[in-house]
Chains A and B, each alone.
Chain A
Amino acid sequence: MASLLIKGGRVVDPSQGVDGQYDILIENGRVVKIEKNISETEATEVLDVDGLIVSPGFIDLHSHLRDPGQEWKEDIETGSQAAVAGGITSVCCMANTDPVNDNPAITKYIIEKAEKVGLCDVFPVGAITKGLKGEELAEIGLMVKAGAVAISDDGETPKDAKLLRNAMDYARSLGIPVFCHSEDKSLSAGGHMNEGFLSNYLGVPGMPAEAEDIGTMRDILIAKLTGAHVHICHVSSKGALEIIKRAKEEGVRVTCEITPHHFTLTEDAVRSFDTNAKMCPPLRTEEDVKMCKEALKTGIADVIATDHAPHTVDEKMVEFCQAPFGIIGFQTMLPLSLNLVREGYISLFQLIEKISTVPARVINKKDIGTLRRGARANIAIFDPDEEYVFTKEMIKSKSYNSPFLNEKLKGKVKFTIYNGKIVYKDV
C-alpha cells in the first residue's frame, strides 16, 4: 500500500494543540500517525522537510474562481493551481459566476469540475437570491444538498431586510453560515476608493467607512434576530470591527474575516491611481490597518481570507474610475500573514488557526483544518523565512492583478499535499 512519511518538520496544528517536531504518516489519503521519529521503513515514500513548518492545509473562505462564465479571468483548474501554490487545499468560491450559482446544477458543476482537477477542495458558496438580484430567494436547500457550504450575495447583501431575515432563518435551519458583504451601497455609491483625506485631495469619489459600518451593524442585527451564524466578509474598517466586538460580547453568532491586503496596505497605494490597488471594500487608513491587526491579535477577527478576485490586465489597464474592483490573493496570503507573526501581533500557532482551524469550523467541516489521526491528509509545508521577489512568472492564476507584483515577500510554500498526494512542489 502506498504511504507517505513527512519527516523532520515542525508541526503546527492548533486543532490538537500541537506545536513541535513530529513526523506524519499518511496512508490512503488520511493521516494515520503523528508521532516523534516514525521510522522510514513504515512508508513507501519519505518527504524530508527538515527546517520547514508543517501545518494543516489552508482553507480560504472567500474567493472568486470565475467559472462558469468568465474563464478568461480564471477557471477552476488555474484557480486550484494558484490555491495549492499558496498552501491552500480548500477554497470557498463565491456565487457571482455567469450564470450565477443560485441553483444545484451550477453547484454540482463546480464541485465535479474541481474533483476532476483534483488539486484541492472547491466548496461552492450558493447565492442568497436568484441572480444575486436581491429579490427572490435562491434554491438554498437544494444547493446545500448539492454541496454548498454557505450562502452569500457577495458584492452586496440583499437590501431587502425581510428577505435577508428569511434567508438567515433558513440558513440557520440548514446549519450553514451566511457570508455577508456588509455595505450600505446607497452611502458608498459611485465611490472608487476610501473616503478621506486622500480622496479629498485626489478628487476621486470616496466610499466612507461608515457605509461598511452601517452594513455590518444591520447584518449583525438581523443575525441576532434570527439566531443565524453570520460571517462578515473582508472587514476593513475600525468601526465595523468595534461593532463586531460588541456583538460577540453580546453573544451574537458572528465571525469575521480580514484579507491580507486590508491588514497590509493603506489607501496610500492608490495615490498613483494604481488599479491593482482598487478593491471593495477599499484600502483604508493607517488607523484601520492597525485595528485590523489588533483585531486578529485579540480574536475579534477570526479568519484570514483572500477575496481572490482575478481580473485580466486588459480589464485593469484602464482609467482608475473604470477599473473593476478586486485583486488576486491565493499566493500572497501566507507571506503577508507571516508579517503579522514577525511584527509580533500573532504567533505562528494563531496564524494557522486563522487560515485553517477556524475556517474549517465556520463551514462545519470536521476532517479538514486538522492533522488528527483519521483526518484527510491536506497539508501545507512552508519555509517562513525564504525571501523572494513575487514575479509574474510565479503566478499560477490566469490574471496578474496584484499590488504585490515585483514586491519582496518572505515566506514560501514548498509542498502542498492534498488527500495524501503531493499536488504542489516549489521548484
Chain B
Amino acid sequence: MKHLISAEDISKERFQEIYRLSQQVKEALREDRKKFTVLRGKCVVNLFFEPSTRTRSSFEKAGKFLSADVINITASASSVKKGESLIDTLKNLDMMHPDVVVLRHPCEGAPYTVKNYINASIVNAGDGCHQHPTQALLDAVTLIEHMGSLEGKKVTIMGDISHSRVARSDAILFRKLGAEVFIYGPSPMMPRFPEALGVKKLSSFEEVAEISDVVVLLRIQLERQSAKKVFPSLREYAELFGMNRKKLEMLKARTIILHPGPFNRGVELNNDIVTSSRSLIFQQVETGLAVRMVVLSLLCGRLEKLKEEIA
C-alpha cells in the first residue's frame, strides 16, 4: 500500500490485519514497551496546515515509538506563507528523502493534488471536509474491541455531517465492515444527498435512541463556518442535539458513544457523558496511537518487522 488517503483505500482484509496488529501494539504499550526498531532509518514528516494537537502528536509518538525520525512542520512556520505552492513545498520536502508525509490541509483533495509529484507515501491526516482515514480506522478498531464486530450493527453519526471528514471516513469504513450507518443533527448541517455516503437521515433523537448500537458525536466546528448562518446558538445546539444524561438514558443499554475530539463540554456532550462508562472517548486516543503505528509500518513496508518485534 503506497498511500492512505481515503477510507476507500482500506479493504476489509486490510482492516482485519490492522485490527489484529493494533491489538498487539496496544498490549505492548500497556506493558510499557514503547521502543521498537521497526522504522529505524525511516523518516516521517508531519506536515500540518491546520492546527492539531491530538492527531499530530499521535503520529509523532507513533513514529518515535517505532524509531523513525520524525519532523513536524506547521504551516504558519513554513515557506507557504512566503508564497510557495503546496506542490513545490512537497517537492522540496521530498528531496530530503522522507518515507512518509502525514498531511493535514484545509482543502479537500489536497493529498491527490500532490501525490504524483513525490516519492514519499502520503497519509491523509484530514483534508478539508473530505477524509480522515486513520480516524475511521481507530474508531472502527475501538468499536470492534468492545462489540466484537460491526456486522449488522447500527451506527448513528450526530452533529455537523456536512462539514465533517470524520463522518465521511467513518461512514465508508463502517459500512465496509457490515454496519448500517445513520446521521442525525440540525438540518442545515446534513448533506442534501445522504445516499452519497451510503447513510440514512434520522429525523428525531427518539429514532436515534431506538436503533443505535453506537452514537458517534461530532465536534461543532463553529470556527469553520459563518456559524450563525448555519445554527442560531450553542445553547440551542446543546439543548436540541447535545448528549446529556437524559438522552443517555434513552439509548439502548449497551449503546457506545464515540467522539473524535477535541470535544466541547456543554455543547455536543457534557460531563455526564465524558465520565460515563459507555463513552470510549479516551480509549479512542490510545487506539489511535496503536493504529497509526501499524499504518506507518504498513506504508514503510515494514509490517513483517512490526509483527516480529511486537510478538
Contacts and interface: CB of A to CB of B under 8 A. Distances in A.
B109 A202 contact: yes
B108 A321 contact: yes
B109 A320 contact: yes
B196 A197 contact: yes
Nearest to B85: A318
18 contacts: A198-B196, A200-B191, A200-B193, A200-B196, A202-B108, A203-B108, A203-B165, A272-B112, A273-B112, A273-B113, A314-B85, A318-B86, A319-B107, A320-B109, A320-B110, A321-B106, A321-B107, A322-B107
A317 B85 contact: yes
A157 to B, nearest CB: 23
Given A196-B192, A204-B130, A320-B108, 19 more contacts: A195-B192, A197-B196, A200-B162, A200-B194, A200-B197, A201-B196, A201-B197, A203-B163, A203-B168, A317-B85, A318-B113, A319-B105, A319-B107, A319-B110, A320-B107, A320-B110, A321-B106, A321-B109, A321-B128
Q: Which 4 A-B pairs have the closest CB atoms?
A: A273-B109, A203-B129, A319-B107, A200-B191
Given A318-B85, A318-B87, A320-B113, A204 B193 contact: no
Contacts of B113: 273, 318-320
Count chain B CB atoms within 10 A of each CB in A317, A318, A320 and give the residue with the most.
A320
Contacts, number: 64
Interface of B: 85-87, 105-110, 112-113, 128-131, 162-165, 168, 191-197
A200 B192 contact: yes
Interface in A196-216: 196-198, 200-205
Nearest to A193: B108
Contacts of B193: 196-197, 200
Count chain B CB atoms within 10 A of each CB in A195, A319, A320, A322 and give the residue with the most.
A319
Contacts of B105: 319
Contact of A317 (B87, B112, B131, B162): B87
A105 B131 CA distance: 51
Contacts of A320: 107-110, 113
Nearest to B105: A319
Contacts of A319: 86, 105, 107, 109-110, 113
B109 A204 contact: yes
A321 B108 CA distance: 7
Nearest to A272: B112
